[in-house]
Chain A
Amino acid sequence: MQRYSALAVLWGGLTGQTHWKPVWGRPEPKGHYDVIIVGGGGHGLATAYYLAKEHGITNVAVIEKGWLGGGNAGRNTTIIRSNYMIEGNTEFYEHSLKLWENLSQELNFNVMFSQRAHVSLVFSAAERDATARRYNLMRLNGIDGEFWDPAELRRRIPHLNYDQGRFEIFGAYVQPRAGTARHDAVNWGYARAATALGIDIIQNCEVTGFIRRAGALIGVETRRDGVAGEIYADKIGLAVAGHTSVLAHKAGLGKLPLETHKLQAYVSEPIKPIVDQVIVFGGVGHFYISQSDKGGMVFGGDLDSYNSYAQKGNLPVYQNVMAACMQILPCLGRVKLLRQWAGVMDMSMDGSPFITKTDIPGLYLNAGWCYGGFKATPGSGHTFAHTIARDEPHWANARLTLERYREGRLIDESGHGPVPKLH
């Protein structure tokens, strides 16, 4: 792999920038791989990278129906945090956050991870107390968290609607190590590093079915650039958030504790720096906003709240999100929206994911990410690779099982019960 460095950029400047080479190619699929990862988003690419790097398994293919990172990896609001309260989530997301902290160095690719703090506003004494419990539990678990009283909040974020809002701002709970990253850079960084370790990334290749022998899955049927084919593998991992149920049915897994819903996101025209942190307006509304390095305000709100595989959002939710924005940041009222889009999510029955072996020999499952897939990217890849390579979970995903639904050990962070649209 061609190393990136300041010196290389300087040298490139003197030699007409002729030194750049493609960092991944268009390999022909081999007939057989040790592991096939279905889904070339962040999670799939990270899984392939860690399979090679941590477990020495390099005979791996990542099979992607569209283009790299063209699904939810390219459709999120890029927020990274680990402010979780319940065992299962706490250790997993903190593990992931720690991987983020060294990711640019690890991949020799600037993923623009910016630990700019995640600020959850509270609007009543009851919300303040309930959130205090959450943040105290986080601190007991070794996750950073603190409280900003209204005076400190006003000093740090002067533009919030302190004086004319319908709801008084009682302060904010803050995770200082949380932040944002550049979503495409994460995909490209993992794809480049995985390719350098010998992994085949095969794009425009849809998995249309599975090949079985004696109850085990031994390969996938594909359609690549319109041509049908077969690729065999010892192990197959699914990382196809949003479409997990579709492939699970084809693989013979049957019904899963999932509903597919869509979530919208929005970005404004670039403006001068106004919001340094990730700000979340929860409780009475649902709204989260940060400012990209280009200056665009990146924000989102609730799900569209009915099952959907369409990557297009409805207007009533759009209106709700804008109303929430005007409630806490009315200074953005005249800013023009640049783009709006929707991604389809695996909404699980308790709002938490699963990374696990399945009852079908040869099949491994990584699904149920709800709103939270982007921040999980390194942790998901790292623990999924471990699960596939060793046939047992990593300590960080040991509780993220499918059996927990059957056993009544739900990881229900929001306390909404088995109603996916509410998580």
Chain B
Amino acid sequence: MLRIPCPFCGPRDHTEFSYEGDATVVYPALDASEEAWFEAVFLRDNPRGAHSEVWHHIQGCRSFLIVERDTLTHEITGARLAHRPTAEALK
């Protein structure tokens, strides 16, 4: 079991969350080139080590979080709100 430190709910079991993948992917503008969309939809760094990833606290506060986790050791070193304006407002 992974324990994810949700900024709102505290440390929670990962089974409360839905994994949404690589958080470094930035989706381009709707009228961006096919190449830009191809890269965003299909290509991943897939690192063996430090990974920024999105987890949706679907059975908790329902926030989208960006979690820093090591894909080899599963060590979690941080979790923050994915929605930047909300994160700023809560500071």
A245 touches B45 (CB 8 A): yes
A residues less than 8 Å from B26 (CB atoms)? none
Q: Does A259 contact B (CB under 8 A)?
A: yes
Q: A306-B53, A405-B38 are in contact. Are A257 and B44 (CB under 8 A)?
A: yes
The residue from B21, B43, B73 contacting A257, defined by CB atoms under 8 A apart: B43
Complex Cα–Cα for A310 and B2 (A): 13
Q: Are A257 and B42 in contact (CB under 8 A)?
A: yes
B19 touches A305 (CB 8 A): yes
A349-B42 contact in complex given A243-B48, A305-B19, A307-B51, C-beta closer than 8 Å:
yes
Residues of chain A within 8 A (CB-CB) of B47 are: 245
**Contact call B72/A309, Cβ cutoff below 8 A:** yes
Q: Which of B2, B13, B19, B46 contacts A258 (CB 8 A)?
A: B46
Distance in angstroms from B87 CB to nearest chain A CB is: 22
Determine if A309 and B71 form an interchain contact, defined as CB atoms under 8 angstroms apart.
yes
* B1 adjacent to chain A (CB < 8 Å): yes
Name the B residues within 8 Å of A305 (CB-CB).
Answer: 19
How many whole Å from B54's CB to the nearest CB in chain A? 11
Tell whether, in the assembled complex, residue B42 and residue A405 are in contact, meaning their CB atoms are under 8 Å apart.
yes
Per-residue interface assignment for chain B, residues 7 to 30, with 1 indicating a CB less than 8 Å from any chain A CB and 0 otherwise: 000000111000101100000000
B51–A310 CB distance below 8 A = no
A314 to B15, CA, bound (A): 10
Question: In this complex, what residue of B is CB-closest to A254?
Answer: B43
Chain A residues near B48 (CB, 8 Å)?
Answer: 243, 245-246, 260, 309
Which residues of A sit under 8 angstroms from B39, Cβ to Cβ? 255
Q: Which residues of A contact B43 (CB under 8 A)?
A: 254-257
Contacts of B38 in A (CB 8 A): 405-406
Chain A residues 361 to 414 lying within 8 A of chain B, measured CB to CB, are: 405-406
Interface residues on A, range: 20 to 34
> Interface size (B, Cβ < 8 Å)?
26
- Judge whether B74 is part of the interface by a CB distance below 8 angstroms: yes
Chain A residues with Cβ below 8 Å from B1 are 314-316
Alpha-carbon separation in the docked complex, A258 to B47 (Å):
10
The listed residue (B46, B51, B73) touching A256 by CB distance below 8 A is B46
CA distance A406 to B74 in the complex (A): 32
In the complex, what's the smallest C-beta–C-beta distance from A352 to chain B, in angstroms?
13
Return the contact of B74 from the options A254, A260, A308 (Cβ within 8 A): A308
What string of 1s and 0s marks CB contacts (under 8 Å) between B38-73 and chain A? Answer: 110111111110010100000000000000010111
Contact with B along A240-253 (1 / 0, CB 8 A): 00010110010000
Give the shortest distance, in Å, between A378 (CB) and chain B (any CB): 27
Residue of B nearest to A255 (CB): B43
A418 to B1 Cα, complex, angstroms = 26
Q: Per-position contact with B for A69-102: 1 when CB-CB < 8 Å, else 0? A: 0000000000000000000000000000000000
User: In A149-185, which residues have CB < 8 Å from any B CB?
Assistant: none
Residues on B with C-beta less than 8 A from A192 are none
A418→B74 contact, CB < 8 A: no
- Closest A residue to B73 by CB, please name it: A310
Determine the chain A residues whose CB is within 8 A of the CB of B45 once the complex forms: 245, 249, 255
Q: Is A423 an interface residue (CB 8 A)?
A: no
**Roughly how many angstroms separate A315 CA and B21 CA in the complex, as a whole number?**
20
Given contacts A257-B44, A259-B46, contact A307 B74 (CB under 8 A): no
Question: B22, B41, B44, B69: which has the most chain A beta carbons within 10 Å?
Answer: B44
Whether A306 contacts B41 in the complex (CB less than 8 A), given A243-B48, A260-B71, comes out as no
Interface check A118, CB cutoff 8 A: no
User: A316-B1, A316-B15, A421-B19 given as contacts; is B74 within 8 A of A310 (CB)?
Assistant: yes
- Which residue on A lies nearest to B39, using beta carbons? A255
Alpha-carbon distance A256/B48, docked complex (angstroms): 14
Q: Which chain A residues border B44 with CB–CB below 8 Å?
A: 245, 255-259
Q: A306-B69, A307-B51, A308-B72 are in contact. List 13 more A-B contacts (CB 8 A).
A: A243-B48, A245-B46, A245-B47, A256-B43, A259-B21, A305-B19, A306-B19, A310-B73, A315-B1, A316-B14, A349-B42, A405-B42, A421-B19
Q: Top 8 nearest A-B pairs by Cβ distance? A: A245-B46, A255-B43, A257-B42, A306-B19, A405-B42, A309-B48, A309-B72, A316-B15
16 contacting pairs across A/B (C-beta < 8 A): A245-B44, A254-B43, A255-B39, A255-B44, A257-B42, A257-B44, A260-B46, A260-B71, A306-B19, A307-B51, A309-B48, A309-B72, A314-B1, A316-B13, A406-B34, A406-B42
